[in-house]
Structure 1
Amino acid sequence: MFILVFLFLGGVSSSSEDRKLCGFITSPDYPETYPNNYHSTFHIAVPDGYHISFTFQVFGIKPSERCTSDYVKVSADDKELGRFCGHRRYRSHPGHRSFVSTGSQMEIEFHSELITEDYEDSMFYQGFQAYYQAVDNNECTPPHDSDGTWTPPCQHFCNNYIGGFSCSCRPGYELQSDKKSCKSECSQVLFTEKAGIINSPRYPHTYPEDLRCNYRVRVVENLNITLSFLEFFDVDEQQAGGCPYDILKVFAGGTLLGSYCGRRSPGMLETHSHEVDLVFQTDDYGENRGWKLRYTTGDVDCGAPQSIYNGEVRYLSTNHTAEARYSCKSEYYTLSGEETYSCSLDGRWLNHKGQSEPPTCKPACGRTTLQSTSRILGGADARDGNFPWMVLFPIESLGLGGGSLISDQWVLTAAHVVQDNPEPRMRVGNVKPQHAKDLEGKRVILHPDWVVEDADQRKNFDNDIALVQLSHRVEMGPCVSLVCLPGEGEGFSPVVDKRGYIAGWGKKSDTQKRLRSPILQYAPIFVRETAECKASEKTDQAFTENMFCAGGFGKDSCGGDGGDPLMFEDQSDEVEGKKLFVGGIVSWGLGCGKFGMYTKVQNYLDWIRETIQKVELEEAGLNIETVKIC
Structure 2
Amino acid sequence: MSGRIQKLLLFPSRCSFMMNQTRFIYFFLVSWLFVLGCFSTGDDEVVPKTKQQLFGTLRSPNYPYVYPNFLQRTWHLQVPNGYRVQIKFLHFDLEPSHLCEYDAIELLDGQHILGTFCGKYDTDTERVPGSQPILAPGNILTIKFRSDYSNEEDFTGFVALYTAVDIDECVEFANDEERSCDHFCQNYPGGFFCSCRHGYHLHDNNRTCTVHCNNIIYNGRQGEIFSPEYPHPYPGELRCHVRIVLPEGLHPSIHFEDTFDVENHPEIDGCPFDSLTIRSGGELFGPFCGTHPPKDIQALSNEVDIEFHTDSSGQHNGWAFSYMAQGEACPMPLAPLNGSLFPHQENYFFTDQVIFTCNSGFELVKESGEKVRTLQLECQSSGTWSSLFPTCQPLDCGPPPPLENGRYDGDNSTTFLSSVTYSCNTPYYYLRSQANATQYVCNEMSKWISAEGQKELPSCMPVCGSPQKQRPQKKARIFAGSPSIRGAWPWLASIQKFGRSYCAASLLGSRWLLTAAHCCLPKGSPVDQQALQLSNIYVTLGKHYTWRPTTSEKKFDVSRMVIHPEFNQDSLSFDLALIELESNVIMTDYIMPICLPNSRIHELTKPGVLQDVALVA
Question: Normalized against structure 2, the TM-score is what?
Answer: 0.36
Larger radius of gyration: 2
Relative contact order, CA 8 A, sep 6+: which one is greater?
1
Question: Normalized against structure 1, the TM-score is what?
Answer: 0.35
